[in-house]
A and B are shown apart, each in its own frame.
Chain A
Amino acid sequence: MTDRNKRKVTVRRFKEKTIEKFFQANGIFSIIVLLGIFSLLLIEGWPAIKKLGVAEFLFNAKWNPTSFEKESYGMLSMIISTLMVTIGAMILAVPLGIGCAAYLADVANRKTREIIKPVIEILAGIPSVVIGFIGIIIVGPFLADLLGTSHGLNAINGSILLAIMSLPTIISISEDAITSVPMVYKQASYALGANKWQTLVRVTLPAAMSGIIASVMLGMGRAIGETMTVLMACGNAPAFPQSIKNSVRPITSTIAIEMGETVQGGLHYSSLFVVAFVLFLMTFVVNLVSDIVLNKYQKVNR
């Protein structure tokens, strides 16, 4: 090889390497953002943690940072509110979602599937603020009539709306899981004389169970983090929730309502970052669990 050709090759190699590094840097950007969110929440929340201690946030029942006599920074009522609304949503969405997923994967013919799938995608695309609006104008009055209360902005309302919002996630991932169950499982079941329903319930669904669980966890993560819907439809009473008929104020609503009123660098400001950090950790854990379950099922079925 001549000298010139050698140089050409080195230049080209260098160029290729640089281009690869450039794309890699973009990939690493995602890690930086995640770490950035984690650390910025912690940095901004640190003054409040240092001054009040972790126990104040986690075990005090009362959240009242603007009180004249004695401020309190307990997150317990918000956490309970969030869990209440989320669990309510899951009770509604899980049977419906899995039912619809099983229908799409096992019962519906191709044409029906091609109609229903875009419908679910449209449902997934409806902005949370519009769902919240529906909660105010339709679900609220309906619940007020049903329960005999003055207004229907309460935990049940939030649960219904969050169920609607988490349905697309549950359906699409469950359906993937059910469809990817190997055909031989079903054929073996048919060969033993089981009909289609028995095969679905005893063979296909159990085989797809980890994917279904993962879909529910992801739907739950969405419900925990949803802001505008609960802000508009749950009534925003900061008191400790007594029953599902009460107005509640979940973690996300509290941040949305109070952040605009705080003084930057103040204790209230900093404490809201602690609240957001707790929320971040909750969704992080839920997503992590769904991730682990999903990975397990991918290994089992391959």
Chain B
Amino acid sequence: MNLTKSTQFLGYTILRLSALIIIAILLFILWDIIAQGSEVLSWEFLTQKPKNGMTEGGIWPAIVGTFWVSLVSVVFSVPIGMFTAIYLNEYAKQGRLIRIIRMAIRNLSGVPSIVYGLFGFALFTLMFNFGLSVISSGLTLGLLTLPWTITASEEALKTVPFGYREASLALGATKWQTIKTNVLPYAVPGMLTGSVLGLARAAGETAPILFTGVAFFWPILPGFPELFTQQFMALPYHLYILATQHHEILKVRPLAYGTAFVLITLIILMNSLAIWIRYRFRKKYK
């Protein structure tokens, strides 16, 4: 009897330990980057361009570049993701087409990011002749985030109680009227969560933009016409350069920490926002 009890204690301790180890890893990563990164953080670091071969100055062009490229990706993927989710959850009946669409979505979410990069390069940069630009990169990232937006949108639609639809249909409304007035208004906040998550993901990806437009150093900020014609800087790529490709790696290490700090703060803020929206949303319908 005692033996089984101590086995249980031992077993539970191991389980607890594995959870603790994972939390410790995360805290360690965050602590290291926050502690070292906050030292270089200043107004100048955030608002200036890199200077003296990127050994001084700030990361403003990278912040702007990341903003634009994520925005393009979300503008591209969120509508398609929402419409796909509406089709899958509201219209589709069980059948071959649905099975294939779902299989395609699941497989797309497993395609390596570098393969998206290569695909975007061959398709947008070369075939469509968008060149090395924010648009090429943004569209590539949009394809990468599409499976996530679809899944998030579908989850949002699933939280809307079935009775809402039945009530509307029973009153003689058509399918589309029902969706428009009795489903979407309740699902849109949840769908927004998906787009915020997509935004966070797009902002952190490096591999898909490697060949489609990101630049080592590009002082011209992207704006409206430049979006289609010019290369850009991005936070994750900037971090990669500072960490591995710079000729004075040790000298720029603090700047690399600062970049990592800004990048990770942006992404955690966006993720927390999404988690918060979802949390409030779930509570509302329980």
Return the chain B residue nearest A273 by Cβ: B118
Contacts of B201 in A (CB 8 A): 125
A142 to B267, CA, bound (A): 27
Please determine whether A33 and B15 come into contact, CB atoms closer than 8 angstroms: no
A111 to B99, CA, bound (A): 38
Contact of B15 (CB < 8 Å), options: A44, A107, A272:
A107
Give, as a whole number of angstroms, the nearest-CB distance from B258 to chain A: 12
Please determine whether A121 and B207 come into contact, CB atoms closer than 8 angstroms: no
Known: A226-B112, A276-B114. A130 touches B122 (CB 8 A): no
0/1 string, A190-231, CB within 8 A of B gives 1? 000001111011000000000000000010011011111001
Contact of B17 (CB < 8 Å), options: A99, A225, A256:
A99
Please determine whether A197 and B8 come into contact, CB atoms closer than 8 angstroms: yes
Please determine whether A287 and B110 come into contact, CB atoms closer than 8 angstroms: yes
Most buried by B among A122, A198, A260: A122
A118 to B147, CA, bound (A): 21
Contacts of A272 in B (CB 8 A): 118
Please determine whether A132 and B115 come into contact, CB atoms closer than 8 angstroms: no
Main secondary structure of the interface of A (DSSP, over half): helix
Known: A23-B91, A40-B123, A127-B236. A232 touches B84 (CB 8 A): no
Please determine whether A256 and B8 come into contact, CB atoms closer than 8 angstroms: no
B54: Cβ under 8 A from any A Cβ: no
Contacts of A33 in B (CB 8 A): 104, 108, 143, 146
Residues 67-126 (chain B) with a chain A CB within 8 angstroms: 80, 83-84, 86-88, 90-92, 97, 100-101, 103-108, 110-119, 121-123, 126
Please determine whether B112 and A227 come into contact, CB atoms closer than 8 angstroms: yes
Contacts of A225 in B (CB 8 A): 110-115
Give, as a whole number of angstroms, the nearest-CB distance from A208 to chain B: 14
Contacts of A280 in B (CB 8 A): 111-112, 115
Give, as a whole number of angstroms, the nearest-CB distance from A96 to chain B: 5
Return the chain B residue nearest A117 by Cβ: B275
Contacts of B4 in A (CB 8 A): 195, 197-198
A55: Cβ under 8 A from any B Cβ: no
Return the chain A residue nearest B86 by Cβ: A23
Please determine whether B112 and A256 come into contact, CB atoms closer than 8 angstroms: no
0/1 string, A265-296, CB within 8 A of B gives 1? 00000001100100110011011100100000
0/1 string, A220-251, CB within 8 A of B gives 1? 01101111100110000000000000000000
Please determine whether B84 and A129 come into contact, CB atoms closer than 8 angstroms: no
B280: Cβ under 8 A from any A Cβ: no
B176: Cβ under 8 A from any A Cβ: yes
A155 to B118, CA, bound (A): 25
Residues 19-61 (chain B) with a chain A CB within 8 angstroms: 19, 21-23, 25-26, 28-29, 32-33
Contacts of A41 in B (CB 8 A): 115, 118-119
Contacts of B143 in A (CB 8 A): 33
Please determine whether A284 and B107 come into contact, CB atoms closer than 8 angstroms: yes
Contact of A286 (CB < 8 Å), options: B23, B110, B239, B271:
B110
Give, as a whole number of angstroms, the nearest-CB distance from A258 to chain B: 11
Contact of A26 (CB < 8 Å), options: B8, B16, B84, B114:
B84
A89: Cβ under 8 A from any B Cβ: no
Residues 1-42 (chain A) with a chain B CB within 8 angstroms: 12, 15-16, 19-20, 22-24, 26-31, 33-34, 36-37, 40-41
Contacts of B110 in A (CB 8 A): 218, 221-222, 225, 283-284, 286-287
Please determine whether A252 and B112 come into contact, CB atoms closer than 8 angstroms: yes
A120: Cβ under 8 A from any B Cβ: yes
B260: Cβ under 8 A from any A Cβ: yes
Please determine whether A197 and B7 come into contact, CB atoms closer than 8 angstroms: yes
Residues 101-156 (chain A) with a chain B CB within 8 angstroms: 102-104, 106-108, 116, 118-123, 125-134, 136-138
Known: A122-B271, A134-B29, A164-B25. A255 touches B118 (CB 8 A): yes
Contact of A100 (CB < 8 Å), options: B11, B22, B32:
B22
A264: Cβ under 8 A from any B Cβ: yes
B277: Cβ under 8 A from any A Cβ: no
Contact of A127 (CB < 8 Å), options: B12, B86, B267:
B267
0/1 string, B193-229, CB within 8 A of A gives 1? 0000000110111110011000000000000000000
A95: Cβ under 8 A from any B Cβ: yes
A259: Cβ under 8 A from any B Cβ: yes
Contacts of B97 in A (CB 8 A): 24, 27-28
Contacts of A123 in B (CB 8 A): 22, 25-26
Contacts of B200 in A (CB 8 A): 125
B167: Cβ under 8 A from any A Cβ: no
A residues contacting B by CB (< 8 A) are: 12, 15-16, 19-20, 22-24, 26-31, 33-34, 36-37, 40-41, 44, 95-97, 99-100, 102-104, 106-108, 116, 118-123, 125-134, 136-138, 164, 167, 171, 195-198, 200-201, 218, 221-222, 224-228, 231-232, 252, 255-256, 259-260, 264, 272-273, 276, 279-280, 283-284, 286-288, 291
Across the A-B interface, give the 5 residue pairs with the lowest CB-CB distance, nearest first.
A225-B112, A127-B204, A99-B18, A197-B8, A26-B83
Can you name 20 A-B residue pairings with CB atoms under 8 Å?
Answer: A16-B175, A20-B87, A23-B91, A30-B101, A30-B105, A33-B143, A40-B119, A41-B115, A99-B18, A118-B275, A127-B204, A127-B236, A129-B239, A130-B239, A228-B236, A259-B211, A273-B122, A279-B114, A287-B107, A291-B106
| 17 more CB-based (< 8 A) A-B contacts, given A96-B21, A128-B204, A256-B117 | A24-B87, A29-B80, A31-B100, A34-B104, A107-B15, A119-B22, A119-B26, A122-B26, A122-B268, A127-B203, A129-B236, A201-B11, A228-B207, A259-B211, A264-B126, A283-B112, A284-B111
